[in-house]
Structure 1
Amino acid sequence: MTDASAETSSASGAVSDTETMSNKAAKKRRRREPPPDPAPLPGLVDAHTHLAACGGRDAESVRAICDHAQAVGVDQVVTVADDMVDARWAVRAAEWDDRVYAAVALHPMHAQDLDDETAAELEEMARHPRVVAVGETGLDYYWPGRSDDCAPPEVQHETFRWHIDLAKRVGKPLMIHNREADRDLLDILAAEGAPDTVIMHCFSGDRNVARECVDRGFILSFSGTVSFANAAELRAAAELVPDEQILVETDAPFLTPHPYRGQPNQSYCLPYTARALAAVRGVPEAEMAALLGANARRVYSMPLP
């Protein structure tokens, strides 16, 4: 190789390294940036979000999140608890803003936190008029063994059974978290006797699980995952759900829909997922939004905005 060739090769390598570094920096920067506002799609309800995790920890920030969402057609939201601290935040948020409703429970990862004291407090919160569901509760088989903080399956089972009973006692929907636990979760629901309304939050099963849930009368709620490129089976599930048994949610700040996967999610992003569902089901966007909003208000007994 001549000196000139070596110099050219070295320069090319330097440019390549610089480009690689720039691409990585751009990707990292993009992941911190919120997605742009979608075109408005009126009539929607975010059936499951986490306002506190989105920064909604006081009346002003909750109002700002709701104002942003409402500007693109998301009129109401249900903010959901993972643990006792989140449950208290969720109830407060629902008191701060009329567009916000709450769901309270212990996430299966925190199932070990259930004792006489927390059970009494959760039941009191579940009876609050602004609380519209008991959730999210259920089973998570992904995290045991990966996280020392996650409750083991046998503890999750007992806490899940308690939440099922709570939902029946207070007469409110049961909001389910299910991760890699399809069979055990459905078997426990059958053994305990499911409440009148069961919502499969962020449904992630295949079409066979979807059919079983539909046959049992459960509501399937779809998040941004239904728009992911590798989610063909999930889209097949979304296609077969009857009109009256489908909801849409953000699960914000997680699961931002395509093409913004990995970026911060918030309730204002919901129209992206609603449009993805409309495409899957072959219906006009406005018709899909009206159906999804009406279903949420019926399921959660929420008034029109």
Structure 2
Amino acid sequence: ANFSIVAARPLQQAGIEIVFQAQPLSGNDKVNPDQLDQTQAVVENRINDLGLSQHLVRTQGNDRIVVQMAGAVNADPITATLGAVGLLELIDAGNDALNPGTMVQTSSAVAPAVVPGAAPSSAPTATPGSKVYPVIITGADIDPTGVMVEFDQVGAAEVAFSLRGNGAKKLADFTASHIGKYMPIVLDKKVISSPVIQATIPNGEGVISNLSGVDEAKKLAAILKYGSLPVRLTLVESRAVADLGLPTPTPLVATSLSPTTPTAPASSSQQGGLAPGVIIRIIAVVVILLALIAFLILRRLRR
């Protein structure tokens, strides 16, 4: 029997939908369209770097970012990565040994980040009136192409980075004059690690260590590669969705087969000659012509 392939029907895609509210980083300014578009691009790049291939990032209204991801189950770590402002700072702590996780105030004008979904009053911040630490360099000095996840001698994950422009010189000058002092690495006003300067760093290359594992290293690398957000994102809603409606590629393998009606073979006249109806018409015309000729001949003979 003959069969034809029937295209597979697209399957429903379960996943999660996350809605962020965009807020200005400082002052009474409003979020403008350019900032919202830039935020959408940064979030998109962060998702791509996390390996979440099937997703959709879009703006909603004047101040919202909606993220849809197929197959993602645990939204919390993804939300934290996408919603982080991503402001990296290397600060001058002098003789202060700041423990990882400590919230600090820096000379940067940008306010501390708000934990996604948390009310401003409950967000972790530095103690009012606490010491303000000078900023040496920021994430704006980092070369995105030089950010990568590496592993130290004992197999612990770390993030390597390199500086661009004047950043390398600023770091070299500072480390040369502050050997033996602490230079904490801070992300969104939270201390990640607090290394002691052992020697001058002349080439603008550094490593962020003391991370919890490979996942944290990947998330940090994704944030550093694409820079900080121009706004602060606060979580509005995170929910599971049965069908996201994302476009799916057409499956190449058929899911069903259906019989087809066989076509009758063509007759010999159809295969190599004229159709019977045409032949009959030709014969009729020939007969009429012959009859007319015979009539004319007989008429002339009678004369």
TM bin, normalised by shorter chain, reads: under 0.3
Q: In terms of Rg, which structure is larger?
A: 2
TM-score (norm 1): 0.25
State TM-score, norm by structure 2: 0.25
Higher share in helix:
1
The structure, 1 or 2, with the larger RCO (C-alpha pairs under 8 Å, 6+ apart) is 2
